[in-house]
Chains A and B, each alone.
Chain A
Amino acid sequence: MTIIPSIKRDYLCRLAEQGKRIDGRKFDEYRKIEIKPNIISKAEGSALVKIGNTQVLTGIKMDVGEPYPDSPETGVLTTGAELVPLASPDFEAGPPQEDAIELARVVDRGVRESEVIELEKLCIEPGEKVWIIFVDIHVLDYDGNLFDAASLASLAALFTTKVPAKRFDLGEDFPLPLREPPVSCTSVKFNNVVVADPCLDEEEIAEARLTVATDKNGDIRAMQKGLSGSFTKDEIKKVIKASINNGKEIRKILYKSIGK
């Protein structure tokens, strides 16, 4: 396990009291975001996202299978995340741990509940055959804020996805039908300050975490509070406001990267 010396904790807190962060950012400021779409040729869609030193790769695979009985005419979305030991000295090989499962579920919820994918257009034969979408999140380098990197990589990957109809003798390939995406923004709280896009040092001393996904209109589409600390109502409102603002900028970067 990586140990955080008490001195570092105290230093981060002292800086925070003066309105500063360890890497010189403002409280609501993100690190540099880079998106490289369509980099895996074997995947139906893919994107690499860098937020500062954090790197996450999402690949999309598609298959034909049975729909769920309660929704016989809609495609199926499955999201998985792997915290492979490549990405951090603290990640271990083996079946997904709680952290990986939470990460996958938060990304899944951001995509599913906001209905980014027009799943109703992915029915091949009602009750029999629909398209199955596998969103696989691969964390490559962990320097904080996996939630935002993973959801952004997954969105960008979905926007590059071509449904491989030809391979299944189902006509011509076509782009995955999508709607306007919500964008997730995460903040953490420590020593009574709230900062956006935590780097690893900040994440390691964080008491509470809040992820807010907002859409183009500034409406809230998904939320997740994590860790054992708490937020006040005012802090939550502040996080939402910052998430809407940062979400706007990130949406621009996303659209630019996919040529939209």
Chain B
Amino acid sequence: MKSEEIKLIDSNGKRLDGRGPLDLRKIKIEAGVLHRADGSCYLEWGGNKILVAVYGPREAIPKHIQDQVKALVNARYNMASFSVEDRKRPGPDRRSREISKVISEALERVILTEQFPRTTIDVNIEVLDAEAGTRCAGLTAAGVALADAGIPMTDIPVACAAGKIDGQVVLDLGKEEDNYGDADLPVAIAPRTDEIILLQMDGHLTIEEFDKALDLAIKGCHIISKLQRKALLDRYQSLIEGGDIE
């Protein structure tokens, strides 16, 4: 492992991958990429490659897990064993269970679950290639896949992290920044209202730094939200050109 002294921001204010402090990594989003799923999304974010499939709403089985008044939102975050430097054992571990839980809860906030009592909406998030920020990338892709599945929602959720490296607050931590930085603050919002639906933090921030980082993460969310909407429109706009359906 490298020493503490690694420089994450050079004298020109550039980060290791050439970004400025307020720049996002490159993001590419595609909606409706899988045949079997009810809705799907493929997303590349820096070196992350994420595939999400949504199934449902469908009757929850076994019956005793059913909620009589609303749908269950069941996100399942899974890392492919080859997605990380040291091979990961297949199957869920404590980390992936926790991420699945916080993502499920965030998604539940925007999905109109009361329209589908006794069902589940299953959101399968597969991390195929991982490079810092997979939970934000996964949640962002899940938002697109849910919309693609025709799930009724009050908003398309979106996530982005801010953090602190070399004493400076920056947007969207990359790989080394995540490993050697001072703090990481992943945030998910409902972009129409700016409600915060996921928030985690590890590291060390002053109150002032936190305020700055939160504002920055929300700004990042809004940029990515536009990319989500564009991906959905690109997929479906062309299908209805020149006339209405009814």
State the main secondary structure of chain B at its contact with A.
loop
Q: Please encode chain B, from 24 to 60, with 1 for each CB lying within 8 Å of some chain A CB and 0 for all others.
A: 0000000000111100000000010101110100100
Q: Please tell me if B140 contacts chain A, counting CB pairs below 8 Å.
A: no
Q: Are A86 and B53 in contact (CB under 8 A)?
A: yes
Report the minimum CB–CB distance from B134 to chain A (whole Å).
11
B92 to chain A: which residues have CB within 8 Å? Answer: 93
Classify chain A's interface size.
20 to 34
Q: Is A215 an interface residue (CB 8 A)?
A: no
Which single residue of chain A is at the shortest CB-CB distance from B49? A40
CA distance A187 to B86 in the complex (A): 37
In the assembled complex, the Cα of A40 lies from the Cα of B87 at a distance in Å of 13
**Does B236 interact with chain A (Cβ within 8 Å)?**
no
B76 touches A87 (CB 8 A): no
A165 CA to B78 CA in the complex, in Å? 28
The answer for the CA separation of A136 and B79 in the assembled complex, in Å, is 12
Mostly, the A contact residues are loop
Instruction: Indicate whether A59 sits within 8 Å of B126 (C-beta atoms), given known contacts A87-B53, A93-B76, A140-B51.
Output: no
Interface flag for A231 (CB, 8 Å): no
**Residue in contact with B91 in the complex, picked from A63, A95, A140, CB distance below 8 Å:** A95
Most chain A CB neighbours (cut-off 10 Å) among B49, B55, B58, B80: B80
Chain B residues closer than 8 Å to A61, beta-carbon distance: 81-82, 87
B51 touches A86 (CB 8 A): yes
How many interface residues does B have (CB within 8 Å)?
A: 31
A232 on the interface (CB 8 Å rule)? no
Q: How far is the CA of A138 from the CA of B51 in the complex (A)?
A: 12
Tell me which residues across on chain A come within 8 A of B90, comparing CB atoms.
80, 82, 96, 136
Q: Is B228 an interface residue (CB 8 A)?
A: no
Given known pairs A59-B80, A85-B55, the reply for A143 and B35 (CB within 8 Å) is yes
Question: Are A134 and B126 interface neighbours, CB within 8 A?
Answer: no
Nearest-CB residue, chain B, relative to A94: B91
Chain A, residues 72-98, CB within 8 Å of chain B (1/0): the string is 000000001010111111000111100
User: A93–B128 Cα gap in the complex (Å)?
Assistant: 17
9 chain-A/chain-B pairs, Cβ below 8 angstroms? A39-B49, A40-B80, A41-B47, A42-B130, A53-B36, A85-B53, A86-B53, A89-B36, A136-B87
Residues of B within 8 A of A (CB): 34-37, 47, 49, 51-53, 55, 58, 76, 78, 80-87, 90-92, 122, 124, 126, 128-131
